[in-house]
Structure 1
Amino acid sequence: MQSIDGRRVLVVGASSGIGAAIARAVGAAGARPGLVARRRDRLDELAAQLPGAVVATGDVTDPASITAAVEAIVRELGGIDDVVLAAGVMALGSVGDTDPEVWRGVLDANVTGLLTTARAVLPHLGPGSTVVVISSMSGRRVASAAGGVYAATKHAAHAVAETLRLEVGPRGVRVTTVSPGFVATDLVAGQENAHAFEERMHDEGLDPADVAAGVVHVLGLPPSVVVVEYAVQSIRQLGYRN
């Protein structure tokens, strides 16, 4: 393992959940985080805990907004070495009962937003850089009808990561897909009929810090090594209890 001390790590989707945990973890490992999300108040609160962190607001569903945010971070940090693409949303509901506008929102954030953000960051990366795409184990399976549209976007995220690997791998940029199972976040908080699912996420899910530790591990691998996919889930999700 190599140290990531001093590396400039851009975290997109840093205001809460997995993204915020990753920002804390890379900061604790000595990296200088660049934090991007929509909610400036949360970014400022997080940055206050991370010496040397810089922030910019950006919305992955707005190409001009996210491109401007990336450029602002690049100016503040003097460049970026690694990128973690952690922005995403989840909406539960079967195909037959869900408003198509809800699908559009999930697709815009999780697929088009991922592509748009990747397009904004790639010009700033070179040999030895790493792109981490936060996907999900739902990118390899469909666990329920209610989660089918979300799973479709995560299948797409896997395809985007594989595409990026083909595109930038030849110039020495690594691309890793990190695929957690349930994570104890507020991803579905407040959604109608999602209370039982939210309870299960918090009861069985990984601590976001566990996912963040995996990201730090991936970033610290030698430049000659690429982890194609890092899949992780809580042992509680397998039915085991301490």
Structure 2
Amino acid sequence: MDSLPLTLSVLIGIALFGIKSGLGCGLTSLKKEEIVMISTAYLVLSMVFSILSDMIPISATRSLLSMGLFLHTLLAIMLVIGGLYTAREFCKGRDVSRRSFLLLSVPCPVCMAATFFACSILIHMTDTTPLQVGFAVGITFILTITTTVLLAKKVNSLTRKGPYLLGNVMLFLGMFYILAALLIPAYIQSRGVLIETGSMDVGNVVVSFSMLSGIVLAGFLLSRFRGVC
């Protein structure tokens, strides 16, 4: 089996989480030291997860997958609420982005679970050591975070609406996460993969998605009636 396509696919998936973190850092007035600290945290976590995943077989991580679906839904709710709050507060002249950006930039349970699975897959499917995998994943995080921060700060300097943009990014990602929570179980079942789904009920997720859609629609209508920033 050619490991290069697999490695690239996994690293691209990791890069998406790096972009998420970079957007949070870049659209907020963080100091360089704070951004370096967050990037370093991802590198350290990648190294730790690589070492741990080498000790744990893939078959033993099935329960983590069901927990990951629950965390997807929980994080989605927090992102939607936080995004609406951040955008509305900016329109009122208050900047709360230095608190709300944490939902995007700090390693969250969903990101940590994805990093663990990425390291586990690369270690078991390629001819690389845990330290090499951890370093590659960590460097991917650092490069994508740094690049995204530079681009986001450029946009922020042009628009002067960083917190408002941050709120909209959080809102979009929240909706994306809840959609992923809907599609992942169906995809897994269609591929014939047997996993323990725990107490995850797709019906409940549909209800949650409907509620979140209502919140987004209400926020949009309020913005239209009261005017946006």
Higher relative contact order (CA 8 A, sep 6+): 2
Judging by fraction of residues, say which structure has more helix: 2
TM-score (norm 1): 0.28
TM-score (norm 2): 0.29
Judging by fraction of residues, say which structure has more strand: 1
Higher Cα radius of gyration: 2
